[in-house]
Structure 1
Amino acid sequence: MSGLNGKVAVVTGGSSGIGLATAQRFVKEGAYVFITGRRQSELDKAKALIGKNVTTVRGDATSSADLDRLFETVVQEKGKLDILVANSGRVEPEEFGKISEDNFDKTFNLNARATLFTAQKALPLMRDGGSIVLVGSIAGHKGINGYTTYSATKAALRSYARTWTQEFKDRGVRINTLSPGPIDTPIMDGQADTKEGADAIRAAFASVIPLARMGQPEEVAAAAYFLASEDSSFVAGIDLAVDGGMAQV
């Protein structure tokens, strides 16, 4: 029997990168998965790739109405929820002294505010003993040039996991943070204006990772599966780093 057989999961930002790899792994392990994203074309591609046991719901995680529609769809199709992976996020590096209000507001709105309200709206649907995985980043623990705003939002997620683990311990809902290091996803291309620039960023990250390479989305998905499954039944409130050792040594 697969490790998530019969489970119902929601993965936000599930149409590409870490979110897509996680949705694929969950379905492989027997779960039915709802994935969200803002671009219908990317959701359609993700659904075709996953192939079965998946529903796509187009929406913006910063929109309360879109979140309500997402969870109404879960209720209508499956009734309850076992797993939430709050993965939606953005990064737009700007060095301190040059940080724009627009970038600050957009980054906090999606990474910190939307994650909180996604989890809060999911909670009434969660079966006792369910699992919430907040996708953070080792940037929440390290000082990285240009990442003032992004890092602060990911530090907030670590705080959420600690507080919520205390607040909802009577229901047995396990809340953990998953903190990837540099992972080779399309978000890397969005941090530079050219392919050469993006490749330079990749090389710079690889040079400071003890394993001498960037991670792959499937490696983070394996950790998300661990936190979602009964394999981690006595794991709560932790921060699990998947970073090739970057923030550990």
Structure 2
Amino acid sequence: MNRLAGKRALITGGTTGIGLETARQFLREGARVMITGTSAKNLESAAKELGPEVAVLASDASNVAAQRELADAVRQKFGGLDVLFVNAGTVDMRPVDQIDEAAFDRSFGINLKGPFFLIQALLQLFANPTSIVLNASVNAHIGMPNTSVYAATKAGLLSLVKTLSGELIGRGIRVNAVSPGPIETPLYGKLGFSEAELKLVAASIQGQVPAKRFGNPAEIASAVVYLASDESAFTVGSDLMVDGGMGNL
């Protein structure tokens, strides 16, 4: 407890799944928290659950101007920032011949362009020290069919971890990633599959996990807490894989 006492934290995509659970754990560890999302229903639900001390903001993760607006909101709320968890993302699992330009641009906009420009917008607000954690994916490490664009966006995030670590460590800013394997979150329900198809997809994915199960959001959130805390002060440019062994195959 209190590993994040007094730290000011921003979690993008913090209204459901991994982001919401991370917000819960950050609060238990003593952090002051701001979260973002896009669904009015989820924003309202998260606000009720997390309480009035948590700032809950609607923000489009793919819009560059929105990243500057978010940085302004952080400045007004906290004055600065000690922890950034870039969790907002989208998954579009389709065969390569079914991805059009709009889908390609949407995935890269939310998963890679938005995070890059959010970090840029926050540069003057980051404290010394600051921990930035990017939510990548085991898909950046494996050749899973039908994930070509999604995996490429997450591989781009892992590249940013390396390059920004070298560029920003002199300012006391650590950049790391967590790469989840398949996690039990509402995300899979948003992929457009019927219930029967979703069960088949889930069974197929689970069969590729040596641990023989899906992970849960709390397991990812615990890894993020570690990377956000001073316990990981010597951890720079790393990718912590929490994937049940899936990326080792």
Could you tell me how far 1:51 is from its partner in structure 2?
2.4
Could you tell me how far 1:12 is from its partner in structure 2?
0.4
Alignment root-mean-square deviation, CA: 1.2
Partner of 1:77: 77
Unaligned runs of 5+ in 2: none
Does the alignment pair 1:164 with 2:164? yes
Partner of 2:210: 210
Per-residue Cα deviation, 1:75-113 (whole angstroms, up to 9, x for no partner): 112111000011111111111223211111110111111
Which aligned pairs between 1:147-226 and structure 2 lie closer than 5 A?
147-226=147-226
Partner of 2:90: 90
- Matched residue pairs, number? 249
* Secondary structure at the counterpart of residue 248 of structure 2: coil
* Runs of 4 or more consecutive aligned structure 1 residues displaced over 3 Å after TM superposition: none
Q: State the one-letter code of the partner of 1:112.
A: L
Partner of 1:12: 12
Does the CA contact (< 8 Å) of 2:177 and 2:239 recur in 1?
Answer: yes
CA distance in 2, matches of 1:152, 1:47: 33
Could you tell me how far 1:194 is from its partner in structure 2?
1.5
Does the CA contact (< 8 Å) of 1:107 and 1:153 recur in 2?
Answer: yes
Identical residues among aligned pairs (%): 39
Could you tell me how far 1:52 is from its partner in structure 2?
4.9
Partner of 1:242: 242
TM-score (norm 2): 0.96
Per-residue Cα deviation, 1:100-147 (whole angstroms, up to 9, x for no partner): 111111101111111111111122111011000010001011101100
CA distance in 2, matches of 1:199, 1:217: 19
CA distance in 2, matches of 1:49, 1:197: 32
Does the CA contact (< 8 Å) of 1:31 and 1:53 recur in 2?
Answer: no
TM-score (norm 1): 0.96
Partner of 1:139: 139
Partner of 2:129: 129
Does the alignment pair 1:53 with 2:53? yes
Does the alignment pair 1:99 with 2:106? no
CA distance in 1, matches of 2:52, 2:215: 27
CA distance in 1, matches of 2:18, 2:207: 22
Which aligned pairs between 1:107-126 and structure 2 lie closer than 5 A?
107-126=107-126
Per-residue Cα deviation, 1:211-236 (whole angstroms, up to 9, x for no partner): 11001011100000000001101000
Per-residue Cα deviation, 1:23-57 (whole angstroms, up to 9, x for no partner): 11101110011100112221110121122531011
Unaligned runs of 5+ in 1: none
Could you tell me how far 1:74 is from its partner in structure 2?
1.5
CA distance in 2, matches of 1:90, 1:75: 27
Does the CA contact (< 8 Å) of 2:136 and 2:179 recur in 1?
Answer: yes
Partner of 1:230: 230
